Structure 1
Amino acid sequence: MNILLNIAYNTAFGEELVLNVINGRENGADVVTPYRMSTSDGKVWTYSLKLDAKTGEYIDYYYSVVRGESNVVRKEWTVAPHRLELGAAKGGRIVAYDRWIGIPDNSYLYSSAFTDCIKRRRLSALPPSDHVATLRIKVRAPQLRGHERLVLVGNEVTLGTWDVFKGQQMYEHNYNEWVADINALKISGKTIEFKFVAVDVADTAEILWEDRFNRTIDVPVLEKDDIMVYELDDAFFPIYNIRCAGTQVPVFSLRSRSSFGVGDFGDLKKMIDWVALTQQRVLQVLPINDSTTTHTWTDSYPYSCISIFALHPQYADLNALPPIADKAERERFEALRQELNALPQIDYERVNNAKNEYLRIIYEQEGKTVMASAEFKAFFKEAESWLVPYGQYCYLRDKYGTADFSKWPDHHAFDESERHALSVQRNAAYKNVAYYYFVQFILNSQMADAHEYARSKGVILKGDIPIGVNRYGCDVWQEPRYFNLNGQAGAPPDDFSVNGQNWGFPTYNWDEMIKDGCRWWVRRFSNMAKFFDAYRIDHVLGFFRIWEIPYNAVHGLLGQFSPALGMTREEIEAYGLHFQEELFTEPFITDWVLDRMFGERAAMVRDTYLEPAHDGRYRMKPEYDTQRKVEAAFEGKTDKADTDLRDGLYALISDVLFVRDHRDPNKFHPRISVQFDFIYESLYDSDKFLFNKIYNDYYYRRNNQFWYREAMNKLPKLVEATRMLVCAEDLGMVPDCVQWVMNELKILSLELQSMPKDPSVRFGVLSRNPYRSVCTISSHDTPTLRQWWDEDASRTQDYYNNVLQKYGAAPHPLPGWLARDIISRHLLCPSMLCILTVQDWLAVDESIRLADANAERINIPSNPRHYWRYRMHMCIEDLMEAHDYNQNITDLIKESGRM
């Protein structure tokens, strides 16, 4: 079969077009065969393919622009590539006229969140025809709702002569793309005039005409068996934008009558039922990956995963497994389950120990049968690349009693040569790790089932991708080249923490990751698409630059953005500030500083921790000259006097005006938030003015273009790796380039009224929220609405009078009627998604909400050792039976016009 592909594209000098035919997917990425195209005028590019084709076969492809041999300067949007059916050609030729497809403004309509959860139309292959010569029309109509199909209506008899009910039926052969074959020999004129019409499948009287002038096509002269394919501009209909409501709740926080002291994947299905019952469309959860390093409560931090693929064993729904055969054991576990499930919060250690013990028993009882099944073998084949290292990592972690693989007597990194022994059942090495394979099979099966259940209910499951991984986790152990272990990822100071946040994660070696096309990330996103139809990118700023803290620091103040354009001495002095390297880069410690910080303890601090330097200044003694050394010296000392002293020493060490670049000692970065420290206070006013100019230029202007290019080297590959709906957490110290990239890639932003992005307002204006955004009131990192209301009385009063426009004193605590009013205003905003925490939804009903609002807090970001143990205070079954409350929520959603 001969296929001639044509596309109009004006190239610049030195550029060429390449046709990329997709041959499948491998490790989450397309496998393509590239073909260099030809042109006679630099405007229309062509390529002739010769292929064998059978009925029902098709090819997917996209175009790219290259300069030189392989420098891709631009490519089409690969989420929805061109599709061309081949089987209808009976020995003739196919001539296709394509149009360049960039990422559209409505790209979200191509996401699986919309196509598979909201619209839920089945794709239908283009049926074979017996036309002697065929004119094929292709058009994209992403606005169509789930109950609508497309009809082609025009001035010819074969097009119904403008009668919709006699028009040409079209087929959705690819997501949002419709196609129809017209018998060219039945066209009487040289030109056809037509429009596209949306027809309601359930009520064919409900029709909607395309909102534009009539389209025209000059009918070409076709030979026998020829197919001429025209790819047209998108159809547009006057259909309002879809807006959805949803709930955010961690899986571990779910509570049902049958759960085992912690939420599980069975509870997730029950929560999906409640979301669907109240006519919500989104259920958002926190990360569900395994975070087990110590088998203690410190592993409760869900953003510190040990594997980007493995799921946490605590989420196994034990009710979905065969019962324990031994009656006494079965009764013992049932009594323990009831005890743990009655607790107001999660007892992380007891729950996980019990669940692991239970899973071990089931493994001994059922493992041989399960692992001989076709389902397990298919799972193992698909997951083998990550599952084998994960299994060995878990075995060695438990064997040696630590996740710190540098302390293991051997296996300091994964040895690829051992993979075979760990993959064959008859080997002893396999028997050591088989339990971990078994558990992951159970977890993957149950989560995939929950995902399919959500789709069947029309609910979008939204996941969360943490920006970091545990430095002692399996990912670092398996592929250390992707990580910088001499740094720690965190966040600069913000409303959550005046000292910044130190997450402890290693930073990424992006140079190494980009070498292989960000394969590690692409695999991560592709694996996540098995379980979710939307996702939140945690701390999207990390793809522009990460806040990197030296490993010898505890707080975040000594960090610097990485990558970033550090400043040379000459650049600093060009602003007029005389650069005194030692004064500006060494801790500023003097007698007056010590007196101010430590008061009557100043002499003790001077004698114990300091030594004289020069000119009345001191330096830290060598045994205390880093925050890590101070931390070690105060280990186990928890009374307030000791912790205040320790924190004061931390502050002394971080009191510098500039931080030396971590990689180039001849470059410097203004220390974040130094305006609150003594070194800044000691400057002359003229030097303060000059420093502030340097500071503002550095943090808000200098790196903008640089960070834009950094993000565009990474994010496009990841956004196009799946069809999940892409949302991002873009709060904090946000440079201008973040909005540039998110607009270019059509990523949904996060909007919190209490944390406005416009610095000129105290509270965000909800009516100004962009459509492409997620609106919320609180998150797992912030106080709930009820907590926020009582946190700052003057702020609440301002909000009550000036935002809610209500008179008098603000009532405390927050009454249910007022919580309903606040939620109603959020639901009415333009944002595509309004997703509220389950705590905030419950706030509207004083009869069912938890009496103690402070018990609803999930995380306190300023505390790196926070215990993540919040659970819903009521069972999902009871929530389902709260009919008046559920009707209240349903009414709120209906009143807002959300679906």
Structure 2
Amino acid sequence: MKIQFYLRFHTKFGQTLQLISEPPITGDTAAPLQLTFLNNDYWTAAVEVDEKSIPGFHYKYQLTDTDGAIRQEGGDDRQVTFKSLPKGDLQLFDTWNHAGEFENAFYTAPFQDTLLPAHKHKKAKAPKHPTHIFRVKAPLLGKHEVLCVSGAGSALGDWDTDKVIPLHLDGHWWTVSLEIPREELPLPYKYGIYNTDDKSFTNFEGGENRYLFGGNEGSTSLLHDGFAQLPNNTWKGAGVAIPVFSLRSKNSLGVGEFSDLMLLADWAKATDLKLIQILPVNDTTATHSWTDSYPYAAISAFALHPIYINLEKVAGKKHADLVKPLAKQKKALNENPVLDYEQVMTLKWSVLRELFQAMAGEWSEEPEFQEFYTNNKHWLVPYAVFSYLRDKNNTSNFTQWKQHATYDAAAIQKFISPRLKHHEEIRFHYFVQYQLHKQLKEATAHAHKQGVIVKGDIPIGIYRYSCDAWVNPGLYNMDMQAGAPPDAFAVKGQNWGFPTYNWARMQEDGYSWWKQRFAQMSEYFDAFRIDHILGFFRIWSIPTTATEGIMGRFVPAVPVQRSEFGERHIWFDATRYTRPFITEQLLSETFGDAAARVSSHFLDSTGYGEFTFKPNFDTQQKISEWFSTIKADDPILEWKQGLLDLMANVILFEVAGSDGQQFHFRFGIEDTSSFQALEHNTQQALKDLYVDYFFRRQDQQWQKDAMQKLPALKASTNMLICGEDLGLVPHCVPEVMEQTGILRLEIQRMPKDPSQTFFHPASAPYLSVVTPSTHDMSTIRGWWEEDPQSIQQFYNTELSQWGQAPATCEPWLNKAIVLQHLHSPAMWAIFQLQDLFGSDGDLRVADPATERINVPAVAKHYWQYRMHLTLEALLKEKHFNHDLKEHIKAAGR
């Protein structure tokens, strides 16, 4: 059989197109099929296929740009099955599916499996000798709506709307087979909507007419016509965001549990919310202390956190006697206003071990466990061993372990032998993860039955002393730390402590670690938020010798060459720009009367009233380690921050190994006394070069890097992907997210346009999520009280109110902000539960400060917020729930 492909695509000079298929139809599995330029509208290719050896194939197209970058189209649903086609040659007329088309979002799992109604329509009887097969997509048709086709010529009804031809749904495609006389070709046609309930034509699609062309005698034309041109951006949804640990119910044990998600889903259904968004739920047990409450420092990117387990569900009726004695402790823990992480974990670990002993091997004989183990042993076995060795060595820092400090797969396989005495300790972690798996699966399945989807969260980093780093340290740059540059919320920047990713190494095996991670997420979630998606463009990378984010730089980044300073007539002294600038005056201003003592202990004089750090204190890490030995009540602890600030008082970082020829700018040089001490002309010239470095020269590289990673990763999952694109956003980010169809995040008080003070939800792009606050910031009410000056401007401009803004965010103000977001054109409006409570004067808490989840500027923040009423009580708040439901309905969500 000869297959002729025609692709509608308008290219630029130098671009080429290829076809890739599964299985390969070219006979060469390594090479895609090259297309040839036909005219301004079409590219084409022909291939001979033996349909006896290949029963059919899937295929899609890719574009190779002038710089060699490859971009694949969206979707993965073009399929040819030979037995369903007439005999003879085949012509395929295709339309490029731009990955950023908003319609593609509706073919992701949450919409196909839960949110959109199923269409079941009878298939029309096909003619004996069809010449043309029409296929087109329209994801948002109503319950009684089908696509139809009409056009010129007798076979298409001569544009008579009483003779339109209905299509039927086959997978993602609305399709129909027709026999069209060759003498009537070419002819114009269009798709439209037909109502099957009242059997009437509704309307045609928009845009210009489509055209049907003839084929060779005896051939069949198969048309993949892309999307019907209908107003498909009308679907909008609302959701609630809350960490699982923040949930409160009568049946949980001092912390929100996976089973509580079912009650939350019941409430979501009652209020017409369609989405539940949670924070990461991976195991963070590194120290067995409250510091493990930080959900973004997981010891495994795959294992679930034992804190979310419901002990009564594990016990069941058979072992209920083991959990009944907990009634008194359960009552006390549930009455705590916040999460007592350590007490909850200690109690749960104790009871889980009792249940493990009591249930013996009965759980491991279950077919469901056997399936779970088979599908997950690639991470489950290393995680279980890691957890055992962590507890045996009293540290998750595997570099300090006496045995197995370096992971060896063969040695670990021997280590889990049933003959060894610690085998039951290993199996205990299998048991806990299996129970967590069952409970989370049950919770999300219940949510789906309620018409509610669940959105997870993927952290950008991994914990330095995690199972992932132990198993495959080559995937990470262990000598660097990820973080974020300074901003209004963290003036010293952020140092998350995570190693950065070795993207080059990850690319070698096609990002298999990421794909495994996505696959595991899809077991439970319909959508996910990529934490700090900017890290896929570039990451703020801090040397392990530093402790503050201010000491980092973006990686990758095109450095400044030494010659550029001369070209711009900038006086250049590498020592002056790269060494901490420390003068007698600065010491006096920083340390006052203690300046001499500080100087003598930490610094050496270089002459002329300037100083440098002694070798024992020449990094922030050394300074911090020295002060870690000082008693908490010693007043010299006050010197620490001053010394860290002095270490950061530089203008440039020299590139290692460049022999003084390449440099990176420190962020925020204008705020340093090192910069301020320079003469005016040098300052201005340096500032111009600084702006070029941060805001111009990097964009092309960052865009290229992101387009290597994100399309490949997005193609590996059918979950809906949302990116947290906050912070110092490069110019290329919106374009990349638009090209890949990843939803953006828009926050009212964090506009991406630097010329704006606030972002108005009414201007949000459709493929976005709007929210008034996130877990990393204060709630609406908290924000109102924190910054009266900004709030006054917000009150007058964004809320269009006259006069003085109220000192506190009264319920009607909170509700007005919520309504602004509900009426946004964005696909999703998602609210922290606290922000919804804030609209109700009777339901809200007295002090909004107690509702904040995280403070990014605090390195060791205790994540312990819990909602102030139970979910059972929330379900009974009829007035609040009815009010919220009506507002969601009025907003068309």
Normalising by the smaller structure, the TM-score range is over 0.9
How far apart in 2 are the matches of 1:171 and 1:443?
42
Shift of 1:778: 0.9
* Residue from 115, 127, 131 that aligns with 2:128: 131
- Structure 1 SS opposite 2:283: coil
* Residue from 74, 84, 90 that aligns with 1:88: 84
How far apart in 2 are the matches of 1:338 and 1:582?
63
> Structure 1 residues 82, 886: CA separation in 2 closer, same or farther (over 3 Å shift)?
same
* Residue from 761, 779, 782 that aligns with 2:774: 779
Unaligned runs of 5+ in 2: none
How far apart in 1 are the matches of 2:223 and 2:137?
12
> Structure 1 residues 201, 765: CA separation in 2 closer, same or farther (over 3 Å shift)?
same
How far apart in 1 are the matches of 2:113 and 2:195?
19
> Structure 1 residues 803, 99: CA separation in 2 closer, same or farther (over 3 Å shift)?
closer
Instruction: Provide the residue aligned with 1:487 in structure 2.
Output: 480
Correspondence 1:171 to 2:146: no
Instruction: Provide the residue aligned with 2:57 in structure 1.
Output: 59
> Structure 1 residues 12, 496: CA separation in 2 closer, same or farther (over 3 Å shift)?
closer
- Structure 1 SS opposite 2:49: strand
Q: Indicate if the aligned counterparts of 1:8 and 1:45 stay in contact, CA closer than 8 A.
A: no
| Aligned-partner residue type, residue 649 of structure 2 | D
How far apart in 1 are the matches of 2:144 and 2:392?
56
Correspondence 1:654 to 2:651: no
Instruction: Provide the residue aligned with 1:380 in structure 2.
Output: 373
Q: Indicate if the aligned counterparts of 1:522 and 1:717 stay in contact, CA closer than 8 A.
A: no
How far apart in 2 are the matches of 1:137 and 1:2?
20
Which has the higher mean CA deviation after the structures are superposed, 819-828 or 87-96?
Answer: 87-96
Q: Indicate if the aligned counterparts of 2:19 and 2:35 stay in contact, CA closer than 8 A.
A: no
Q: Indicate if the aligned counterparts of 1:152 and 1:197 stay in contact, CA closer than 8 A.
A: yes
Unaligned runs of 5+ in 1: 25-30
Instruction: Provide the residue aligned with 2:99 in structure 1.
Output: 103
- Structure 2 SS opposite 1:232: strand
Instruction: Provide the residue aligned with 1:251 in structure 2.
Output: 244
Which has the higher mean CA deviation after the structures are superposed, 428-437 or 479-488?
Answer: 428-437
**1:590-739 mapped onto 2 (5 Å cutoff):** 590-635=583-628, 637-639=631-633, 641-661=635-655, 664=658, 666=660, 667-739=662-734
> Structure 1 residues 634, 133: CA separation in 2 closer, same or farther (over 3 Å shift)?
same
**1:574-585 mapped onto 2 (5 Å cutoff):** 574-585=567-578
Shift of 1:761: 2.4
Which has the higher mean CA deviation after the structures are superposed, 314-323 or 690-699?
Answer: 314-323
| Aligned-partner residue type, residue 808 of structure 1 | G
> Structure 1 residues 90, 319: CA separation in 2 closer, same or farther (over 3 Å shift)?
farther
Correspondence 1:767 to 2:762: yes
**1:241-280 mapped onto 2 (5 Å cutoff):** 241-280=234-273
Q: Indicate if the aligned counterparts of 2:106 and 2:112 stay in contact, CA closer than 8 A.
A: yes
Instruction: Provide the residue aligned with 1:27 in structure 2.
Output: none
| Aligned-partner residue type, residue 263 of structure 2 | K
* Residue from 136, 141, 144 that aligns with 2:138: 141
| Aligned-partner residue type, residue 252 of structure 1 | F
Shift of 1:23: 5.3
How far apart in 2 are the matches of 1:103 and 1:622?
54
- Structure 2 SS opposite 1:613: strand
Q: Indicate if the aligned counterparts of 1:493 and 1:500 stay in contact, CA closer than 8 A.
A: yes
Shift of 1:337: 2.1
- Structure 2 SS opposite 1:469: coil
Instruction: Provide the residue aligned with 1:408 in structure 2.
Output: 401
Shift of 1:550: 1.1
Instruction: Provide the residue aligned with 2:49 in structure 1.
Output: 49
Shift of 1:206: 8.0
How far apart in 2 are the matches of 1:789 and 1:833?
24
Deviations along 1:780-828, whole A, 9 cap, x unmatched? 1111111111112222222222322222322232211221112112222
Shift of 1:643: 3.9
TM-score computed with the length of structure 2 as normaliser = 0.92
Instruction: Provide the residue aligned with 1:890 in structure 2.
Output: 885
- Structure 1 SS opposite 2:808: coil
Shift of 1:290: 1.2
| Aligned-partner residue type, residue 60 of structure 2 | Y
> Structure 1 residues 434, 183: CA separation in 2 closer, same or farther (over 3 Å shift)?
farther
| Aligned-partner residue type, residue 740 of structure 1 | E
Shift of 1:843: 0.1
* Residue from 532, 535, 540 that aligns with 1:547: 540
Shift of 1:39: 5.5
Which has the higher mean CA deviation after the structures are superposed, 582-591 or 41-50?
Answer: 41-50
Which has the higher mean CA deviation after the structures are superposed, 609-618 or 260-269?
Answer: 609-618
Shift of 1:251: 1.0
Shift of 1:471: 0.6
Instruction: Provide the residue aligned with 2:741 in structure 1.
Output: 746
Instruction: Provide the residue aligned with 2:492 in structure 1.
Output: 499
Which has the higher mean CA deviation after the structures are superposed, 81-90 or 641-650?
Answer: 81-90
Instruction: Provide the residue aligned with 1:28 in structure 2.
Output: none
How far apart in 1 are the matches of 2:35 and 2:532?
44
* Residue from 816, 822, 833 that aligns with 1:821: 816
Q: Indicate if the aligned counterparts of 2:655 and 2:664 stay in contact, CA closer than 8 A.
A: yes
- Structure 2 SS opposite 1:869: coil
Deviations along 1:463-507, whole A, 9 cap, x unmatched? 211111101001111111111111111111001111110000001
Deviations along 1:763-793, whole A, 9 cap, x unmatched? 2233322222211111111111111111122
| Aligned-partner residue type, residue 57 of structure 2 | I
> Structure 1 residues 741, 189: CA separation in 2 closer, same or farther (over 3 Å shift)?
closer
Q: Indicate if the aligned counterparts of 2:152 and 2:187 stay in contact, CA closer than 8 A.
A: yes
* Residue from 111, 118, 121 that aligns with 1:121: 118
TM-score computed with the length of structure 1 as normaliser = 0.91
Shift of 1:387: 1.6
Shift of 1:872: 0.6
> Structure 1 residues 249, 19: CA separation in 2 closer, same or farther (over 3 Å shift)?
same
> Structure 1 residues 33, 111: CA separation in 2 closer, same or farther (over 3 Å shift)?
farther
> Structure 1 residues 263, 205: CA separation in 2 closer, same or farther (over 3 Å shift)?
farther
Percent of aligned pairs sharing the same letter: 35
Q: Indicate if the aligned counterparts of 2:157 and 2:163 stay in contact, CA closer than 8 A.
A: yes
CA RMSD across the alignment: 3.1
How far apart in 2 are the matches of 1:519 and 1:431?
31
| Aligned-partner residue type, residue 277 of structure 1 | A
Q: Indicate if the aligned counterparts of 1:769 and 1:830 stay in contact, CA closer than 8 A.
A: yes
> Structure 1 residues 150, 406: CA separation in 2 closer, same or farther (over 3 Å shift)?
same
Deviations along 1:712-746, whole A, 9 cap, x unmatched? 12111122221222221111112212222122223
**1:803-818 mapped onto 2 (5 Å cutoff):** 803-818=798-813
> Structure 1 residues 469, 331: CA separation in 2 closer, same or farther (over 3 Å shift)?
same
Instruction: Provide the residue aligned with 2:827 in structure 1.
Output: 832
Which has the higher mean CA deviation after the structures are superposed, 435-444 or 698-707?
Answer: 435-444
> Structure 1 residues 759, 521: CA separation in 2 closer, same or farther (over 3 Å shift)?
same
- Structure 1 SS opposite 2:549: coil
* Residue from 290, 293, 306 that aligns with 2:299: 306
Which has the higher mean CA deviation after the structures are superposed, 294-303 or 129-138?
Answer: 129-138
**1:248-647 mapped onto 2 (5 Å cutoff):** 248-323=241-316, 325=318, 329-366=322-359, 368-418=361-411, 420-421=413-414, 431-635=424-628, 637-639=631-633, 641-647=635-641
> Structure 1 residues 880, 162: CA separation in 2 closer, same or farther (over 3 Å shift)?
farther
| Aligned-partner residue type, residue 786 of structure 1 | R
Aligned length: 884
Shift of 1:449: 2.9
Shift of 1:53: 8.3
How far apart in 1 are the matches of 2:576 and 2:95?
62
How far apart in 2 are the matches of 1:11 and 1:346?
57
Which has the higher mean CA deviation after the structures are superposed, 187-196 or 813-822?
Answer: 187-196
- Structure 2 SS opposite 1:834: strand
How far apart in 2 are the matches of 1:642 and 1:248?
43
- Structure 1 SS opposite 2:457: strand
Correspondence 1:151 to 2:148: yes
Q: Indicate if the aligned counterparts of 1:367 and 1:438 stay in contact, CA closer than 8 A.
A: no
Correspondence 1:791 to 2:786: yes
Q: Indicate if the aligned counterparts of 1:785 and 1:840 stay in contact, CA closer than 8 A.
A: yes
How far apart in 1 are the matches of 2:724 and 2:31?
36
